[in-house]
Structure 1
Amino acid sequence: MTTLSHTETRPVALPPAVPTDYVFGLSDTDDILGGEDVHAVVTLKVAMTRDMLAAAFDLAMRGAYDENIDELPVDEIRHRVELSLHMESPWDLLRDGRTFDELLEDESIVDLVRAEYRAIDRAYPHMAPKGNH
């Protein structure tokens, strides 16, 4: 039997993983596990681009447009990104992230998108761009 490995064979410089206290199923206000015994807590690490993070944050912000994004605490921004990762496939976020910055061309939402990028840069400052978005 051959075991497939997804381990990178060449050295890759990655930023350190961001710690989290969020546990899907137990951190939710409605406790979706319904009191069932938890058999394991599985940790998933996902390498994400800035645009993927912004796309994930944008998805989690749907319906919360009355909030001032620039005033959200870092923990809340990270929580919302993680919530999107629980709801969306990393592959979908990769796809959405590849075109997310194109939303900066839409004058009707450019301020919102810039605020989302600023939030991502605060929550995940590793290599945050020095540019205007």
Structure 2
Amino acid sequence: MTISLERPVRAQMPPAVPSTLVFGLEDPPDEVQAVVTLRVAMTRDMLGAALNLPSHTAYDEDPDTWSVERIREYVELSVALEGPWRLLQDARGFDDLLDEPSVCDRIRAELRAIDRAYPGAPK
């Protein structure tokens, strides 16, 4: 992963997907001063790794039944709680999970969900 500090980023990237969530206090004791937006360029494996974190998703549910909004919420939650660097590390071994009989069906379902929610992701 390379961080680009150029303004604007010159690499061709798909358009940013609008956020579904705003993280922070629901009833802040003080006035909210700012809502900060962070754009993270993610590979398909990073998106899959984000969706696969069982602490952030409903692991007992079928990803084929999830709405696009729900999939994006899970991914955003993972990015917010784990950070892009952790997801980049997790993505390195994500494809290997397709060779594990005990989880390969789940991984394929999560990748189908990613493809629905982020159709610009390369396959």
TM-score grouping bracket, smaller chain normalisation: 0.7 to 0.9
Report the RMSD for the aligned CA atoms in angstroms.
Answer: 2.2
Give the aligned partner of residue 13 of structure 2: 14
Percent identity, aligned pairs only, is 52
Deviations 1:41-68 (A, max 9, x none): 0000000000000000111565622212
Give the aligned partner of residue 55 of structure 1: 49
Matched residue count: 120
Give the aligned partner of residue 93 of structure 2: 99
Question: Quick check: which has more Rg, 1 or 2?
Answer: 1
Out of 73, 83, 86, which is 2:77 matched to? 83
Is 2:60 the counterpart of 1:66? yes
> In structure 2, how many angstroms separate the alpha carbons of the residues matched to 1:6 and 1:63?
32
TM-score normalised to structure 1 length: 0.80
Q: Is the 8 A contact 2:45 2:94 kept in 1?
A: yes
TM-score normalised to structure 2 length: 0.86
> In structure 1, how many angstroms separate the alpha carbons of the residues matched to 2:98 and 2:29?
44
Highest RCO, 1 vs 2 (Cα 8 Å, sep ≥ 6): 2
Task: Map 1:18-33; keep pairs closer than 5 Å.
Answer: 18-26=17-25, 31=26
> In structure 1, how many angstroms separate the alpha carbons of the residues matched to 2:8 and 2:71?
33
Q: Is the 8 A contact 2:43 2:121 kept in 1?
A: no
> In structure 1, how many angstroms separate the alpha carbons of the residues matched to 2:100 and 2:28?
43
Show structure 1 runs of 5+ residues with no match: none
Show structure 2 runs of 5+ residues with no match: none
